């Protein structure tokens, strides 16, 4: 039996993006796989009064179980309502989004199981096939008032099963045609971001006095050209973790072995949010802070073995990180 997101108290992204476009900020799209992550996201977004997109990859859906996941989305809304009332805060809008859906069947399954927003990523297909697949998902989704994100251009790094050696920047001249033919509500573009904690090779970067890698700047010229071609249309940035050296250093000081980690500097994300970028995807930074807190905990207290003893501090680290993003990077705080 299928269930609509509306019955779960979730919202689609239409109103969120309209407000973000007018207010020149970006809505955070945070990935989650488990309870501590979803608790941290909801707590941080409620306390900073930010709208939020809870994002689930196909791998996350397999990991968490697709049935349980529906209830996690519903539970996130219910938890937010109870905490909002207890703290005297306004309720925040929450969307449940499929990240990097790659087939119509997966998109349909998520739609039928309470998702309010879908990404169909056909960017690895030839252009015409990308158009066809995206349009098929849009038709099914729009009949149910669900919003759809497409993708044009390929990000370097790993997009679920799709391994892209090199990034192929989005071609601004294709954007209008793609949006007209597919009727997508938003579009993920490639302007130099990529997935994971190693977004650039060391040889692509310069180093500052502290030995920290400074990556090349994002291609704001492409973003500007896209805005000229299709004014007022919602753009999405994937691969937008900043890979904070503080977290990487804690991991490595406590037995980890992360090498040549480099992310997108926060000031570039702040700048992107001033453009038509209304959704910014962040996953790796959460993974890093969670790992840093857990590694440190085990080093400091090797006798602990109750998961609450190490997942509790990890959850606190996540809450701090998400609040920081909303307040100081994306500008979504105070816009619920």
Which residues of this protein are in contact with ligand 13P, per CB under 6 A? 31, 99-100, 195-196, 238-241, 281-284
Distance CA 171, CA 187 (A): 12
Q: How many CA atoms lie within 13 A of 146 on its CB side?
A: 30
State CA 38 to chain mean position distance: 13
Distance CA 170, CA 223 (A): 9
Cβ(88)–Cβ(6) under 8 Å?
Answer: no
Cβ(248)–Cβ(289) under 8 Å?
Answer: no
Residue 99 or 185 having the CB closest to ligand G3H? 99
Residue 21 or 251 having the CB closest to ligand G3H? 251
Residue 50 or 55 having the CB closest to ligand G3H? 55
Site for Zn ion (CB under 5 A): which residue of 61, 97, 199, 238? 238
Minimum CB–partner distance for residue 258 and ligand G3H (Å) = 16
Minimum CB–partner distance for residue 1 and Zn ion (Å) = 31
Q: CA dihedral in degrees (16, 102, 273, 47; nearest 10)?
A: 50
Does position 185 bind ligand G3H by CB under 6 A? no
Show the site string, 281-320: x = touches ligand G3H by CB under 6 A, - = not.
Answer: --x-------------------------------------
Cβ(275)–Cβ(229) under 8 Å?
Answer: no
**CB neighbours (10 Å) of residue 256?**
16
Residue 83 or 219 having the CB closest to Zn ion? 219
Set 99, 185, 283, 285: catalytic member: 99
Look up 177 and say whether it is catalytic.
no
Does position 97 bind Zn ion by CB under 5 A? no
Show the site string, 271-300: x = touches Zn ion by CB under 5 A, - = not.
Answer: ----------x-------------------
Number of residues that bind ligand G3H (CB under 6 A): 9
Distance CA 63, CA 33 (A): 7
Helix and strand tally (H, E) in the chain?
A: 12, 12
> Known catalytic residues?
99
> Would you tell me which residues interact with ligand G3H (CB under 6 A)?
31, 57, 59-60, 99-100, 160, 195, 283
């Amino acid at each position: 039996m299928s269930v609509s997101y509306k019955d779960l108290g979730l919202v689609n992204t239409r109103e969120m993006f309209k407000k973000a476009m007018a207010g020149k900020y970006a809505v955070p799209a945070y990935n989650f796989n488990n309870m501590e992550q979803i608790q941290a996201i909801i707590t941080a977004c409620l306390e900073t009064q930010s709208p939020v997109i809870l994002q689930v990859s196909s791998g996350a859906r397999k990991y968490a179980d697709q049935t349980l996941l529906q209830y996690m989305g519903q539970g996130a809304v219910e938890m937010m309502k109870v905490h909002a009332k207890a703290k005297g805060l306004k309720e925040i809008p929450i969307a449940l989004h499929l990240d990097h859906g790659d087939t119509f069947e997966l998109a349909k399954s998520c739609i039928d199981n309470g998702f309010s927003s879908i990404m169909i990523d056909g960017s690895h297909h030839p252009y015409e096939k990308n158009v066809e697949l995206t349009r098929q998902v849009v038709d099914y989704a729009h009949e149910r008032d669900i919003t759809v994100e497409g993708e044009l251009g390929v990000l370097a790094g790993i997009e679920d099963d799709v391994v892209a050696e090199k990034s192929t920047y989005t071609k601004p001249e294709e954007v209008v045609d793609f949006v007209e033919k597919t009727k997508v509500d938003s579009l993920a573009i490639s302007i130099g971001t990529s997935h994971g904690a190693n977004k650039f090779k060391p040889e692509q970067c310069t180093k500052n006095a502290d030995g920290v890698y400074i990556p090349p700047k994002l291609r704001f010229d492409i973003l500007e050209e896209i805005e000229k071609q299709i004014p007022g249309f919602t753009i999405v940035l994937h691969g937008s973790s900043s890979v904070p050296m503080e977290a990487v250093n804690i991991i490595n000081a406590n037995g980890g072995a992360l090498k040549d980690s480099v992310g997108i500097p926060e000031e570039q994300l702040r700048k992107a949010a001033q453009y038509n970028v209304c959704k910014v995807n962040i996953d790796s930074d959460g993974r890093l802070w969670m790992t840093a807190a857990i590694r440190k905990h085990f080093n400091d207290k090797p006798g602990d073995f109750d998961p609450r003893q190490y997942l509790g501090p990890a959850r606190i680290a996540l809450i701090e990180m998400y609040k920081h993003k909303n307040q100081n990077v994306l500008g979504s705080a105070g816009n619920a």
